[in-house]
Amino acid sequence: MAEFTQLLFSGLAVGMVYALIALGFVVVWKSSSVANLALGQIVLLSSWFTYGMLVQAGLPPLLGFPVVILFALLLGWLIERVALRPLIAQPILSLITVTLGIAYFIEGVVTFIWPWSVDALPRLFPQEPVRIGLAVVSQEYIWVAGISLVAFAGLTAFYKYHKMGIAMRATADDQLAVQACGIPVTKIFSRSWMFACVVAALGGVLISSIGGITYGLVETGLKAFSVVILGGLDSFLGAIIAGPVIGLAESLGGGYLTPYLWAGVKDIIPFVIIIIVMLIRPYGLFGEERIERI
């Protein structure tokens, strides 16, 4: 029983981390129907930049974090302007491939500026683990979960009530109609990418303060895809709920199935979930089904 609660809580905690990254993906999808396959690398780059600011340049956190946010805004603007603006009306393969190209490029930039592949951020949260019943959870995870929920609430409110948020949803739905209404579509794309990069940066900073900065951030980004697929590509609620679900599946599946199957089952669970979701309910738990007409 002690095992179960431990696995339960650590699964939930890790799942909230996935959910946070998934939010960044949903932001881009909700605004422009572009799949951001460079998500993991953007998280990586933001984490390294944070390292650069906090450790290499020695800025205090109060000064360093706003700089990181500015950097994320700049990064989002740059990506959208340079790589995505010229491809506005192209088929989806081109868009996906361009994000793959961006992913490659960012990996190269990271290796270029910080050639040593592993490092640690200064600890942002207190270290002592918290006891919940018989389970032990690192306090950092609880902070991450809390911040994710705050981000989720903020994003949902923005998209529902704020003018820009509504405009973004309209753009994702039908670009032509939005242009006919006089809303500058290019500005909307720009803003949504900047947003997404800020969310990704936030996620990256939180995760790397727990586990250090490694290429694992890219793999966590891949697992965020499974969260997004399960929850629905355009739903924040889906991301927040599917995140812990995937985390739980990994944790409990890994904990209980491993003795019967092979070691390492934990790693494959998110991907098996993707395949299952694709076969049963392709649009995810909360996603909107796209109705296609000729």
Other C-beta atoms lying within 10 Å of the C-beta of residue 107: 17
Question: Which of the residues 122 through 181 are near another protein (CB under 8 A)?
Answer: 129, 136, 138
**CA dist., res. 114 & res. 108, Å (int):** 10
Q: Closest CB to another protein among 21 and 68?
A: 21
Q: Determine the Cα–Cα distance for residues 73 and 195; give it in Å rounded to an integer.
A: 7
Q: Which residues pair with 130 in a beta bridge?
A: 137
Residues 111-130, interacting with another protein (CB under 8 A) = 111-120, 129
What does the DSSP 8-state code read for residue 131? Answer: E
Identify residues 70-99 at the interface with another protein (CB under 8 A): 82-83, 86-87, 90, 92-94, 96-98
Residue 254 binding another protein, by CB under 8 A: yes
Q: Which is nearer to another protein, 66 or 146 (CB)?
A: 146
Q: Yes or no: say if 231 and 285 are a contact pair by the CB < 8 Å rule.
A: yes
Ramachandran region of residue 281, left (φ > 0), alpha (ψ -120 to 50) or beta? beta
The Cα–Cα gap between 105 and 97 comes to: 12
Supply the minimum distance, in Å, between the C-beta of residue 79 and another protein.
10
Residue 250 sits in the site that holds another protein (CB under 8 A): yes
Window 210 to 239, contacts with another protein (CB under 8 A): 210-212, 214-220, 222, 225-226, 229, 233
Q: For the segment 28-67, give every residue that binds another protein (CB under 8 A).
A: 35, 37
- For the bound state, the minimum distance from the C-beta of residue 238 to another protein, rounded and expressed in Å, comes to 14
Residues 194, 71: Cα–Cα separation, whole Å: 10
Binding of another protein at residue 19 (CB under 8 A)?
no
